Amino acid sequence: MKLRNRGYTGALTDAVSPRETENRRLARRMAAEGMVLLRNRGGVLPIPKGRKIALYGAGAQVTVKGGTGSGDVNSRDSISVRQGLEEAGYQLTSIGWLDEFEQIYHDAREHWRKKIFDSVNAPGVNGNFFYAYAMNPFIIPCGSPLDTKAACADGADIAVYVLSRNAGEAVDRREEPGDYYLTEEELALLRQISKAYRDIVLVLNTGGPVDLTFTDEIPNLSAILLMGQAGQEGGNALADLIAGDVVPSGKLTDSWAFRYQDYPSAEYFGSRWQDGWKAEYREDIYVGYRYFDTFEKPVRYGFGFGLSYTRFELVAGTISANGRMISVDVQVKNIGSQYPGKEVVQLYVSCPQEQLSKEFRRLCCFGKTDLLQPGQSQRLNLSFDAASMASFYEERGVWALQAGQYGIWIGNSLESAALAGTVVIGQPIQLSQCDHICPQQETIPLLRPDPDRMMARQQIWQAQSAKMPVCKLDAGAFVAETVDYTPVGADPGDPAWQLVSKLNDDQLLALSTGRMKAQTGELGNAGWTVPGAAAETENLLACSPWNIPSIVLADGPAGLRLKNHYRVVDGQLEVGTVQDSLENGFFSSDEPKQGTSYYQYCTAIPVGTLLAQSWNLPLVEEIGKMIGGEMLEFEISLWLAPGMNIHRNPLCGRNFEYYSEDPLVSGAFAAAITRGVQSMPGCGTTIKHLACNNQEEKRKGSDSILSERALREIYLKGFEIAVKTAQPMAIMTSYNMVNGIHAANSYDLCTKVARDEWGFAGLIMTDWTTTTTSTAGECTAAGCLAAGNDLVMPGKPEDHESIRTALADGTLSRLQLLRCIRNTVRISQLSNQVEDQKCYRSLYPNLPVYMECRADL
């Protein structure tokens, strides 16, 4: 086996590389594809190029490209809305206001920078710079009031107002002005703008929902465009949509309620509920649209909604079954007369309500058309496994399809979806019998719809379906799965097992954690060979006869998070700090430095929610391949992405990193980006955070209390889809507890579910510093390994002591340790740190393609 000869990563020149240029084009295309047009009264959009536009709002001058923390990317630059509109040829009449805001913003940033340094040694922070940074999020200033008289005379009749919000790791959003609500200053500015211009276009440069009540109070607020946090090409992509060079085709992957209090988890979320340590999932399976649709609660903008500059006609055809697969043909036609466009077709299913309370409809399939010219049609075939219609019967521990009628709904949003026919199952079908997992240790009340009302609604659609297409599903096409939960023993036929069984205890301990640095508590700066990398595994055995290379891990999921600039002094890599890795080195020392400079400019892609709002799986797969190419260039083996936790509540601080409130959307897009990344040799994704990581505050010990059914149907389902359809190289567990057990110490999650039920074949790792004791109790390194969590990151001496003690007292067996190290070794030797790529599939016939074994493993 020949290992990669590592050198310094990056380029010796600051010049823009061809790779950067090409990747920016794809990032721009991706950003435009995921933006959502929410309102367009009078067809105010698109705006012809060359027109005068008055541009206001914080995000106009300093556009937020993505969230903070590990989800940030230190890209070369980021295109603001102002830059994008100017480059597109618009005449901006508000230059004075924008220039004045630039100084206001600069002063606010410097004040904030000082505040971070002053708070490093505050109680609860204890010298950890990352937490000082995370716990003091930057509040974007509003800007100056408008000179209404001058504005009325500037020659523009359209104003664009960019509302920006930011969020990030370790702290949740707030139901307060300046976050979920507008401030009085923002509202006053908007009212001034409304008096000076005929039409206002509101651009939402936010990572998630904000309260839009104010949009009902401004009569000339004619258009609303959800820009999201669109990466470094966001300003250009927005200009493409405003100009009509790209026609909006994005759709929401979340429900936008009229009021925050309308969300079913509003009263029980985070620090609003008791002390915040207990997260009671009282809404059960009724998350997002499953709640609003089932309980007939109106929303401002519903799941799957999004407008276009053109119109489409959808005609559903016959429904057919081939074994387990159900298919519906849908003819889509662009019936507009001026603009080409793409349409998203969504298929929802209503399941029988007689035996088990269920949501009224659930998403089971979707597809997106090509770009259709006016009058052009395309036939989409929506095909899905009937298992998507199954429910988990908690008392019996089975996944099953109830006998009865299943309604098939087709539309370009949930609200517009119309009944298209039914699938009939003549007898109950059991899909699998499961062991119970993560038992509740305390009872909580669970939300349930009125059964009489649900039956009445079912009878209505069943009556409507009398003359519609019917498809009968053959129960004989299904064979009930039997899950084997037998603990895996020694595997002497596995070359990786043969190798690790020869290691002594010290070598095994070294491979059980990341390679430790002095600043083991610093998140985002635990890498050794690639500056700014999140961490690296041990390299002591990266030599003959072991040939176990260390692998470098980089944060995500909006691109690779590395330092964009570092130095080598006298042949030694400069010792960096976490300050250097945050926000393009904004917190770095201003002292001049010597040495040879290297540059690592990575591409900042749109945040996860915007990726999913494209509903374009092939395009997201292209994005994954692009990320994989950068991983090869910068010698990154594992990307700590995609994030795919469910948007349980809009105030979760990291929702921007995640895809949706729906598990199918989450799983499908995680699988797509994984397939793209892993199409590049030796590059892998790390899907995260398993599981129920749905709040940031008190994340190292908050206890997610929920039913097994909700856990399986909502919070694990996306992970299951990603594992079964893409086999990511790695999974990261979460900080929180699930029903009283830390996720990283949960044998049920790491082994019984991920490996035994889903067939996961890769590496399971902890989140960073998971084993730091919290007020909720200790999560031990030995407990992580015993649970099947293979790698404790980033590693600290106490973790080794925990494992050594557990081996001595028998609470961790050597066999358990060997299984974990085998998984780590296998991934390291299948990573891009190995140059000779020749593989022999026959050695590992049951592993996914990316894990084919090298000849000399």
Q: CB neighbours of 809 closer than 8 A, spacing ≥ 6?
A: none
Task: Find the Cα–Cα–Cα–Cα dihedral 407, 301, 171, 179, rounded to 10°.
Answer: -170
DSSP state of 168: B
Q: What stretch of H or E contains 4?
A: none
293 φ, ψ (degrees, to nearest 5):
-70, -40
Q: What DSSP string describes 321-383?
A: EETTEEEEEEEEEE--SS--B--EEEEEEEPP-SSS---S-EEEEEEE--PBPTT-EEEEEEE
Q: CB neighbours of 57 closer than 8 A, spacing ≥ 6?
A: 143, 160, 161, 162, 163, 164, 189, 203
**Positive or negative: CA dihedral 313, 362, 253, 201:** positive
Q: How many CA atoms, within 13 angstroms, populate the side-chain half-sphere of residue 795?
A: 21
Q: CB neighbours of 842 closer than 8 A, spacing ≥ 6?
A: none
End-to-end CA distance of the chain: 7
Please, is 514 exposed, middle or buried when counting C-beta atoms within 10 Å of its C-beta (0-12, 13-18, 19+)?
buried
Helix, coil or strand: residue 114:
helix
Query: Residue 189 is encoded by which pair of tokens?
Result: 């500015």
Amino acid type, 135? M
CA distance 715 to 661: 10
CA distance 392 to 350: 15
CA distance 755 to 790: 12
748 φ, ψ (degrees, to nearest 5):
-60, -45
CA distance 563 to 578: 10
Helix, coil or strand: residue 791:
strand
| Cα-based angle 163, 601, 770 (whole degrees, multiple of 5) | 75
555 in Cβ contact with 71 (< 8 Å): yes
Of 265, 305, 221, 272, nearest in space to 42 by CA? 221
CA distance 492 to 478: 35
CA distance 38 to 212: 11
CA distance 296 to 305: 17
Range 489-498, long-range pairs (CB < 8 A, 24+ positions): 489/815, 490/815, 490/818, 491/822, 494/822, 494/844, 495/843, 495/853, 495/857, 496/822, 496/825, 496/826, 496/829, 496/857, 497/818, 497/822
Which one of 154, 767, 790, 799 is the catalytic residue?
767
Q: Does 450 qualify as catalytic in the annotation?
A: no
CA distance 84 to 162: 13
DSSP state of 466: G
Q: What DSSP string describes 387-420?
A: GGG-EEETTTTEEEE-SEEEEEEEESSTTT-EEE
CA distance 246 to 755: 43
Query: Residue 352 is encoded by which pair of tokens?
Result: 């029988």
CA distance 53 to 818: 65
CA distance 629 to 636: 10
Q: What DSSP string describes 674-715?
A: HHHHTTSTT-EEEEEEETT----TTTTT-EEE--HHHIIIII
208 in Cβ contact with 654 (< 8 Å): no
Question: Which residues form the catalytic set?
Answer: 767
